[in-house]
Amino acid sequence: MFGARPVNLFLLCAGLMVLSGCSSSATWGWYVINPSTPTGWTNIKFLIGGMGDTILISLIAAALSITIGLLVALPGLSDRWYIRIWNRVYVEFVRSIPLLPMLFWVFYGLPIIFRSMGLNIPIDPFWGAIITLAISDSAFTAEIYRAGIQSIAKGQTEAAQTVGLRYVQTMRYVILPQAIRRILPPLANQFIYIVKMSAFASVIGMQELTRRANELVVTEYRPLEIYSLLILEYLVLVLIISAGVRWLERRMGSDERG
Amino acid sequence: MAETAIEMVGVNKWFGDFHVLKDINLSVAEGERVVVCGPSGSGKSTVVRCINRLELHQKGAIRINGAQVTERPEDLGGEVGMVFQQFNLFPHLTVLQNLTLGPMKSRGLSRAEAEARARHYLERVRIPEQADKRPAQLSGGQQQRVAIARSLCMEQKVMLFDEPTSALDPEMISEVLDVMVELAEEGMTMIVVTHEMGFARKVADQMVFMDAGEIVETGPPAEFFEAPKSKRCQTFLSQILSH
């Protein structure tokens, strides 16, 4: 019943929290984020201030992921095994690595490799999180692309070839425009996944939403209220993404029907 | 004597262990119309698909206008037109865009040139008014005529038809065949895989009968229909012409 209108779910959650806040003030201490008090307002601004970094990390990581994912997916569609194998190796390897260890490896380990190669490429928490999220997610994006492209009938490729299109042109003008419409929903899922997983950036010191919540909990000792707000912040982000994707789908869908 | 447009010499092909083409020898002169018929699974579609490299053969030689074909279909550069049983129009593009894509991307025509050419050929297949619709909005017969026009827009010398009317409702078959007859009369080199024997009688210079991966019999249509030499061909013709 909530699937069709996530807004309902949102209202329900918000309502429940407010209600429980009113009914047992011993459990809840909303003062910590009460916008009508100066401290509460400062705290709220501090917490919501992480929104920008969370969004930026997620957007850049998602953009990289759908690019890397496509580049990884294409060899996986070859009919030659020695090309296809590169896709399999990448996908199987990357998706076997848990996000947190990969984040540590990229943030603490990769700079050592760079230094040993004589390269001075510092990796700050911002880019460390983006690289990790993008690579980790790209294995899944690659599989989504592969399935989407494979779902386009072989006859489309054949028809493109008989009007003289080369491989890249066939992909660009015939296959991908059709495949994108089909893979938009699973790609959107992956984007939501990235937004949520960006919380891990907090452990390498990125001051995004989760890090700020943690820092405030340490000083205010009000984990219940602060983490509740944190969850709501992610909920709002995800609902906005969902709405955007539905809008995109409608636009593309009408295109297909003509 | 006309130039040889397509030549197949000792062509063999296997799908795994299945020997789908056995020593195919076929020569098609420029301007010649060849109709290939035979029971399903006889390899007739595979023959035309080998010519434009949608399938690769393992043994033998295929030459198009004297040049040996390579492994990659795009190397033909759209020199050989193809009309598919399932039309294979691009569903996300309008009819006009379906027709201009190849000429613009592989022939380097400007949009204006490509659109002028597209409208010209839509006129030829008698559906100029459908230019801005999407394939899904057209009937099967109209879609197949768009597919023919799409191929014509590449202005190839050779066109292959792989059962172009088999997926059509009966009342739409003749509108597609009419267009094909016109093309034949204008001197297009054509290889047509079809069961439409009326069409074959009307336009074919050479009939080819295939069974079990072999060319069993070839000949001009008069001979082929009146006095088929092989038993297999007689049986096949009696089956499809009996009603």
- B65 and B2 Cβ atoms separated by less than 8 Å: no
Question: Which of A163, A166, A174 best tests the B interface by mutation, with the highest count of B CBs <10 A?
Answer: A163
> Which residue in chain A is spatially nearest to B153 when comparing CA positions?
A163
DSSP result, A50-76: THHHHHHHHHHHHHHHHHHHHHHHGGG
The confidence band for A2, taking pLDDT boundaries of 50, 70 and 90, is very low
Q: For B30-185, where are the E strands, in sequence order?
A: 33-37, 59-64, 67-68, 80-83, 158-162
How far is the alpha carbon of A179 from chain B, nearest alpha carbon, in Å?
10
Average pLDDT of the residues in B115-144: 95
The confidence band for B97, taking pLDDT boundaries of 50, 70 and 90, is very high
Of the candidates B30, B25, B27, which has an alpha carbon nearest to the alpha carbon of residue B1?
B30
How far is the alpha carbon of A72 from chain B, nearest alpha carbon, in Å?
22
For chain B, domains (ranges, CATH) are: 4-79+157-241 (3.40.50.300), 89-155 (no CATH)
pLDDT digits (tens, 9 = 90+) for B156-166: 889 999 999 99
Give the pLDDT of residue B1: 54
**Tokens 């390498």 identify what position?**
A204
3-state secondary structure of B99: helix
Say if B158 is an interface residue toward chain A (CB within 8 Å).
no
**Dihedrals φ, ψ of A163, to 5°?**
-100, 20
Structure tokens at B81: 């037109």
pLDDT at A14 over 70: no
Average pLDDT of the residues in A120-127: 91
- A248 and A90 Cβ atoms separated by less than 8 Å: no
3-state secondary structure of B135: helix
Find the range with the poorest average confidence among A13-27, A91-105, A191-205, B38-52.
A13-27
Q: Which one-letter DSSP state was computed for residue B74?
A: G
Task: Check: pTM over 0.95? Answer yes or no.
Answer: no
- Cβ-based neighbours of A76, under 8 Å, separated by 6 or more: A84, A87, A88, A91, A142, A146
Is B106–A164 a contact, with Cβ atoms under 8 angstroms apart?
Answer: yes
How far is the alpha carbon of A160 from chain B, nearest alpha carbon, in Å?
8
- B181 and B202 Cβ atoms separated by less than 8 Å: yes
Is A257–B92 a contact, with Cβ atoms under 8 angstroms apart?
Answer: no
- B194 and B177 Cβ atoms separated by less than 8 Å: no
Order of strands across the sheet with B4-15?
B18-29, B4-15, B59-64, B67-68
pLDDT digits (tens, 9 = 90+) for A246-256: 998 888 875 45
Q: Which one-letter DSSP state was computed for residue B229?
A: -
Whole-number mean pLDDT of chain A?
89
Give the pLDDT of residue A16: 64
Average pLDDT of the residues in B187-204: 93
How far is the alpha carbon of B68 from chain A, nearest alpha carbon, in Å?
17
Is A158–B84 a contact, with Cβ atoms under 8 angstroms apart?
Answer: yes
Is B89–A166 a contact, with Cβ atoms under 8 angstroms apart?
Answer: no
Structure tokens at B169: 């409702």
pLDDT digits (tens, 9 = 90+) for A89-115: 999 999 999 999 999 999 999 999 999
**Tokens 């409608």 identify what position?**
A250
**Dihedrals φ, ψ of A40, to 5°?**
-55, -45
Average pLDDT of the residues in B64-74: 77
The confidence band for A42, taking pLDDT boundaries of 50, 70 and 90, is very high
Is A164–B90 a contact, with Cβ atoms under 8 angstroms apart?
Answer: no
Element (H, E) at B217: strand B214-219
Give the pLDDT of residue A254: 53
Give the pLDDT of residue A31: 85
Give the pLDDT of residue A144: 96
Is B90–A159 a contact, with Cβ atoms under 8 angstroms apart?
Answer: yes
Say if B111 is an interface residue toward chain A (CB within 8 Å).
no
3-state secondary structure of A189: helix
Question: Which of B56, B94, B101, B146 best tests the A interface by mutation, with the highest count of A CBs <10 A?
Answer: B101
The confidence band for A232, taking pLDDT boundaries of 50, 70 and 90, is very high
Give the β-pairing of B206-211 and B59-64: unpaired
Average pLDDT of the residues in B24-50: 94
> Which residue in chain B is spatially nearest to A161 when comparing CA positions?
B74
3-state secondary structure of B57: coil
Q: How far apart are CA B176 and CA B88, in angstroms?
A: 15
Determine the residue type at B118.
A
- Cβ-based neighbours of A52, under 8 Å, separated by 6 or more: none
**The CA-based dihedral angle spanning residues B104, B110, B115, B118, taken in that order and rounded to the nearest 10 degrees:** -50
